[in-house]
Amino acid sequence: DVKVTQSSRYLVKRTGEKVFLECVQDMDHENMFWYRQDPGLGLRLIYFSYDVKMKEKGDIPEGYSVSREKKERFSLILESASTNQTSMYLCASSSAGGVNEQFFGPGTRLTVL
Amino acid sequence: QQQVKQSPQSLIVQKGGISIINCAYENTAFDYFPWYQQFPGKGPALLIAIRPDVSEKKEGRFTISFNKSAKQFSLHIMDSQPGDSATYFCAALGDFGNEKLTFGTGTRLTIIP
Q: Residue A63 burial by CB count (10 A; 0-12/13-18/19+): exposed, middle or buried?
A: middle
Chain A: nearest CA to B27, how far in angstroms? Answer: 16
For the residues A54-63, what does the mean pLDDT come to?
A: 94
Question: How do B107-112 and B10-14 pair as beta strands?
Answer: parallel
Handedness of CA A111, A14, A25, A57 (dihedral sign): positive
Chain B: nearest CA to A111, how far in angstroms? Answer: 16
For the residues A53-63, what does the mean pLDDT come to?
A: 93
For chain B, positions 37-56, list CB contacts with chain A under 8 A: 41-46, 49
**Dihedral class, residue B60 (left if φ above 0, else alpha if ψ from -120 to 50, else beta):** left
Is the pLDDT at B1 greater than 70? The verdict is no
Band (pLDDT 50/70/90 cuts) for residue B100 is confident
Q: What is the pLDDT of residue B97?
A: 63
Is the pLDDT at A29 greater than 60? The verdict is yes
Q: E-assigned strands of chain A?
A: 4-6, 10-13, 19-25, 31-38, 42-51, 54-57, 65-70, 73-78, 87-94, 103-104, 108-112
* B103: nearest CB among A4, A31, A42: A42
Least confident residue range of A74-78, A94-98, B82-86, B105-109: A94-98
Half-sphere exposure of A20 (CA within 13 A, CB side): 8
Chain B: nearest CA to A103, how far in angstroms? Answer: 7
**B17: contact with A, CB 8 A cutoff:** no
